[in-house]
Structure 1
Amino acid sequence: MTTALDSLPLLTGLSPTQRAAVAGVSTVETYAPGHRLFDEGGVADRCWVVLTGCVMIDHTTPGSGRVALQSLGHGELVGWSWAMPPHRWHFGATVVSPTRAVVVDAVRLRELADADPELGYRVALVMLETLVERLQTTRIRLLDLQRQP
């Protein structure tokens, strides 16, 4: 498992010991297109790091159904609602192409982070990096929409 984590740029800030700890609460799973990873409002008890394939983040809008917001691929983190109470998903996610991902048990990861503040700090940095990237992507999309006639 650590070899799968070692190859992910997202986790390069973790030491080998920290990656091993994360690997200890993780599995690798494969999903077929159409598989629903999670729905808005559900319990956020895991997260995924995509190894191959594509996952679409969506939001359910009354009258319109599910609206695609962003696609995530290799090396990207899917799901961060597990990090903050009340640990409920704010969006949904569906697999759109055959996908292989590291699935992290977020409950156990929070326990590891609580027990090891250095690991907790490193995980927080990964989350912040992901959040900044998503905000930048959203900003660019909004600017593009503003430019359209």
Structure 2
Amino acid sequence: MTKAIKLLTALPQMQRERLMELAKEVSFPEDTRIFEAGGTADRFWVIRSGAVHLDQQVTPLRRVTVASLGAGDLLGWSWLFPPYQWDFGAEAFSQVRAYEFEAPPVLALCVEDPLLGLSLVRTVCEVLAHRLEMTRGKLLEQYSLPRRGTL
């Protein structure tokens, strides 16, 4: 499996610096719901410390963790794609410190600086591809059938 893509370190330094001008430092106490599936996706975060679980509501009383994120990871990508709604929920598994970015100013910066926009979209797509690969691996591991010739 490939190594996780870290948004800020994947961007070229000059573009990272421009993006960081829009960052706001935030924190979430342990067990805080950061967002819910179906809610309006108008921002994203880069986790500085702590852990966040992405989850999916599978029954009215049960959520299943689909991914765990930590330092350097991108939290939230739905702000980039219509209909701009969260696909999963997110909860702070521990005290979390993060950089928060509001989507409208980031999108305006991407229009102003198309190279930054292209780099950002490519990096977010790499993050998504990595997470899809990780999810695929988990599913294959969990639901794999015994190989022929084994009991």
TM over 0.5: same fold? yes
- Paired position in structure 2 for 1:77: 74
Provide the TM-score with structure 1 as the length reference.
0.87
Aligned residue among 106, 110, 113 for 2:107? 110
Counterparts of 2:7 and 2:107 in 1: how far apart (Å)? 18
Counterparts of 2:61 and 2:115 in 1: how far apart (Å)? 44
Structure 1 counterpart of 2:85, one-letter code? R
Counterparts of 1:54 and 1:148 in 2: how far apart (Å)? 32
Note if contact 2:7-2:124 (Cα within 8 Å) is conserved in structure 1: no
Aligned residue among 8, 21, 26 for 1:24? 21
Structure 1: runs of 5+ lacking an equivalent:
1-7
Which of 117-126 and 63-72 deviates more?
63-72
- Paired position in structure 1 for 2:42: 45
Q: C-alpha displacement at 1:14, in angstroms?
A: 2.6
RMSD of equivalent CA atoms: 1.8
- Paired position in structure 1 for 2:121: 124
Provide the TM-score with structure 2 as the length reference.
0.86
- Paired position in structure 2 for 1:5: none
Note if contact 2:56-2:64 (Cα within 8 Å) is conserved in structure 1: yes
Q: C-alpha displacement at 1:106, in angstroms?
A: 1.5
Query: What SS class does the counterpart of residue 82 from structure 2 fall into?
Result: coil
Aligned residue among 126, 136, 140 for 1:139? 136
- Paired position in structure 2 for 1:97: 94
Structure 2 counterpart of 1:103, one-letter code? E
Structure 2: runs of 5+ lacking an equivalent:
147-151
Structure 2 counterpart of 1:56, one-letter code? H
Counterparts of 2:91 and 2:145 in 1: how far apart (Å)? 28
Report the count of equivalent residues: 142
Q: C-alpha displacement at 1:22, in angstroms?
A: 1.0
- Paired position in structure 2 for 1:15: 12
Counterparts of 2:16 and 2:8 in 1: how far apart (Å)? 8
Percent sequence identity over aligned pairs: 37
